[in-house]
Amino acid sequence: MTTLKSTLKDDLTAAIKERDELRSATLRMTLAAITTEEVAGKSARELSDEEVRKVIAREAKKRREAAEAFEKGGRAAQAERERAEGEVLAAYLPKQLTDEELAALVADAVAEAKAGGAEGPRTMGAVMKIVNPKVAGRAEGGRVAGAVKRALAG
C-alpha cells in the first residue's frame, strides 16, 4: 500500500475514534474513489502516491464545484459542508501556488517557448507543455491556462 493511502486509512481510523463525522465521511468517500480507480480498467492495480494525489485533487475539485452549485441554488448549508470537505482534502494536497508564483512560472515558460521559436496560435500549446510539469498539482488547469492567456496577451 502506498504511503499516502495508508496515511488516509490511519487518519480515517483516528477520525472514527474521535467521532469526527465530517472528516470520517470525507476520508471514506476519498478512499472509495481511490479503490474505484484501482479496480477500473482490465485488471486491478495499486495506485502510486502521485496517482492517489490526482484522485484527491479530483475529489477536492468536485467539492469546490458542488459548493458553487449549492451557493447558486440558495442552499448555503450544503455549500458550507462541501467547502468543509474540500478543506479536509486540501490537507493531503501540495500547497497551491499564489497568483504571483504562477505568473512568474508562466512568464519564464513564455520566454522559453518564444526562444524555442513558438509563435502565433501554437504558442499557447508550447507554453502549456513547458509550464504544466513545473506546476504539477499545485494549481488547477483552468488557472494555469488563464495565466498563460494573460501573459500572451500582455
CB 127, CB 103: distance < 8 Å: no
Asked if residue 104 and residue 136 are part of one domain, the reply reads: yes
Number of domain units in the chain: 2
Same domain, 84 and 103: no
pLDDT tens string 74-121:
999 999 999 999 999 988 888 887 888 888 888 888 777 777 776 766
Boundary (domain end) residue, out of 91, 124, 145:
91
What is the CATH number for 77?
Answer: 1.10.1510.10
pLDDT band at 1 (very low <50, low <70, confident <90, very high): low
Percent of the chain at pLDDT > 90 equals 37
- For residues 20 and 86, state if they share a domain: yes
Residues 60 and 104 in one domain: no
Mean pLDDT of 67-77: 92
Q: Give CA–CA dist 140/61, Å, rounded.
A: 9
pLDDT at 131: 82
The whole-angstrom separation of Cα 148 and Cα 154 is: 10
Residues 9 and 39 placed together within one structural domain of the fold: yes
Q: In terms of domains, do 28 and 65 share one?
A: yes
29 and 87 within one domain: yes
Q: Which of 91, 107, 142 is the last residue of a domain?
A: 91
Quick one: 86 and 136 in the same domain?
A: no
- Judge if 81 and 9 occupy the same domain: yes
What domain range includes position 30? 3-91
Say how far residue 115 (Cα) sits from the centre of its chain.
30
Of 133, 127, 80, give the one whose Cα is nearest residue 106.
127
- Quote the pLDDT of residue 121: 65
Same-domain status, 53 and 86: yes
CATH number, domain at 137?
Answer: 1.10.10
- Between CA 87 and CA 91, with CA 88 as vertex, the angle to 5 degrees is 85
Please give the DSSP secondary-structure letter assigned to residue 118.
-
* Claim to verify: residue 86 and residue 111 sit in the same structural domain: no
- Claim to verify: residue 87 and residue 103 sit in the same structural domain: no
